[in-house]
Structure 1
Amino acid sequence: MHYTTALTLLTGSLAIAAPLDGRAVTQFPKGTSWDIVLNTKSLELSDFQKAPGTAIDIDLFDLSQPTNRIAELAKTKKVICYFSAGSREDWRPGAAQFRPSDYGRNMIWKGENWVDVKSPRVREIMKARIELAAKSGCHAVDPDNVDGYSAYADYVNYLASVAKQNNLAIGLKNALAIIPAVLPNIQFAINEQCHEFGECTEYAQVSKANLAVFNVEYELKDCSHPTGVVLSSVFKPLDLDTVGGQC
């Protein structure tokens, strides 16, 4: 998911972070209500605090820099912190950390490229982002763009191990094909448009494991639950710049 916001995060600051010792990994049982707002440019902290739902998915960088608002938000919400784990975004200050060999073909959005998830440098960059999430007070991470190839299962499990070391929950974003391979290591799933694409039934394993399935639809407002699947659905504009829209 691409969104444009002015960021003031300095590249070097991604390297510093420490896990929140002693905090249990937050659980997201099926049926957990949620909201997702990734384009935060016109919103205040109070808007997020008033958002419907017990969990909220927000941009890690927007709310952690230059002033950390995540810790305050986390007092009343289960905060899921979004970042792209499968791509290099040239509008991020951290873009210079990637070597040319770390990324390849273009994605849909201008300035965004798939990364080599087997690259040790890419994994270190993402490890630092997870550590930043822990330091900022997030309860969980939402690593996006991990549905490019079947080989991403190993990558997601690596990210999950880093999240666990930092006492963070982690969700699987889309990537339906790798659900069985990563299910033991995730605490929730996030899906975009499973109703529109007829894919919601694929989450039966996740619901059976009593994990939340957070669904966002952009075109089709469908609040139904397929047999064996419990969805926590919201209907949003594509820019993901508004609060609310729960079923």
Structure 2
Amino acid sequence: MAMLRGWHGRLVPIMILALLSAVGCAAAPEPGSSTESTSSSGPWWQPTGKPTWQWQLDDEPVDTAVQAEVFDIDLFDNSAAVVDSLHARGSRVICYFTAGSWEPYRPDSAAFDADLLGGPVQGWPDERWLDIRRIDKLRPLLAARLDMCRDKGFDGAEPDWADNHLQDTGFDIGAEDQLRFNRMLADLAHERGLAIGLKNDLDQAAVLAELFDYSVVEQCIEFDECAALEPFTDRKKPVFSAEYHVTRDVACPQAESLGLATILKRVELDAWRETC
């Protein structure tokens, strides 16, 4: 039994699909298949190495005094003025939104048809899983969110819940469905000149690292999962890593050894952080 993470450190118990079988299913797609990986080379922001970063998703105003090269903040809750203020300090800014789940309090929530909504997200009963197989319906909705991300001046995106195939969603979602959905997200972001990060989804990192520009991962040190993200670090692409329950003495030596950009956070993702 392992734990898959999501926004605000949500811990979802699931049985992990075997790494080799999950990647193996995706590693040999049909020619021209939408699950084939392509290069992320393009005119958008392409970070490298281990940038310092801050991740703040609580309801408080973003603390722009934090010293970080990259800020990851909520798409809907922050204006273009906030993004501009961070840019003025020389920071890059990532927009956070959920891609694989539905949140009733978002301003566009009414645009999601009822047949897209599955079971409740564990621990967050007001939220529902999305049927990511329905790309025909989800593509325009998520494109609109990425339009907002671009129009507010963000540099990149962090679409959460990129691993619905591992969750108890109420839908029959397979690894190929997830790859197709995640590739769609990457294409939508890149078409808008935005970088994009792969959120968790460790078992597909080897397939998707060529396409995505960075990884955002929770608790990989705590659960000894960080090795799965070597396809990113091998390409000099950042792994933005957050830990909630381990100390600096534990996290930082491992982060240094593995080449991770690691911060320690509280699960509510307020402005507090410790850095390595």
* Pairs aligned (count): 222
Distance in 2, matches of 1:243 and 1:128, equals: 31
1:155 maps to amino acid: F
Among 165, 182, 185, the alignment partner of 2:191 is 165
Root-mean-square deviation (CA, aligned residues, Å) is 1.9
1:67-86 map, 5 Å: 68-75=81-88, 76-86=90-100
Asked whether 1:29 is paired with 2:48, we answer yes
Q: Distance in 2 between matches of 1:68 and 1:115?
A: 31
Letter in 2 for 1:33: T
Q: Contact (CA 8 Å) 1:103, 1:113: kept in 2 or not?
A: yes
Are 1:208 and 1:228, in contact at CA under 8 Å, matched by a contact in 2? no
2:228 is aligned, of 196, 202, 224, to 202
- Structure 2 CA distance for aligned equivalents of residues 226 and 218 of structure 1: 14
- Corresponding residue of 1:103: 117
Alignment of structure 1 residues 20-169 onto 2, 5 Å? 24-39=43-58, 41-43=59-61, 47-48=63-64, 50-64=65-79, 68-75=81-88, 76-108=90-122, 109-119=124-134, 120-149=136-165, 150=175, 151-169=177-195
Task: Report the residue type matching 2:85 in the other structure.
Answer: E
Q: Percent same amino acid at aligned positions?
A: 29
Distance 1:83 1:161 in 2: 16
Q: Distance in 2 between matches of 1:2 and 1:225?
A: 23
User: 5 Å matches for 1:211-230?
Assistant: 211-221=237-247, 222-225=251-254, 229-230=258-259
CA–CA distance in structure 1, aligned partners of residues 138 and 266 of structure 2:
31
Matched AA of 1:35: Q
CA positional deviation for 1:231: 0.5
Contact 2:266–2:273 (8 Å) recurs in 1: no
With over 3 angstroms needed to count, the CA separation of the structure-2 counterparts of 1:202 and 1:228, relative to structure 1, is farther
Match of 2:264 in 1: 235
- 1:229 and 1:204 map into 2 onto residues whose CA distance is 8
CA distance in 2, matches of 1:183, 1:172: 8
Paired residue secondary structure (1:110): strand
Where 1:167 maps in the other structure, the secondary structure is coil
1:18 paired residue number: none
The one-letter code of the counterpart of 2:61 is L
Shift of 1:223: 1.2
Conservation of the 8 A alpha-carbon contact between 1:188 and 1:212:
yes
SS at match of 1:224: helix
Amino acid at match of 2:137: R
For 2:81 and 2:119, locate their aligned partners in 1 and report how far apart those are by CA, in whole Å: 33
Per the TM alignment, residue 226 of structure 1 is displaced from its structure 2 partner at its CA by 6.4
Partners of 2:87 and 2:256 lie apart in 1 by: 33
SS at match of 1:197: coil
Query: Is the aligned partner of 1:184 residue 2:210?
Result: yes
Find the aligned partners of 1:52 and 1:72 in 2 and give their Cα distance.
Answer: 13
Q: TM-score, normalised by structure 2?
A: 0.76
Tell me how far apart the structure 2 counterparts of residues 179 and 123 of structure 1 sit (CA, whole Å).
Answer: 22
Question: Secondary structure at the residue paired with 2:76?
Answer: helix
More displaced stretch, 23-32 vs 235-244: 23-32
* Closer, same or farther: CA 226–82 of 1 in aligned 2, 3 Å: closer
Unaligned runs of 5+ in 2: 1-5, 9-41, 166-174
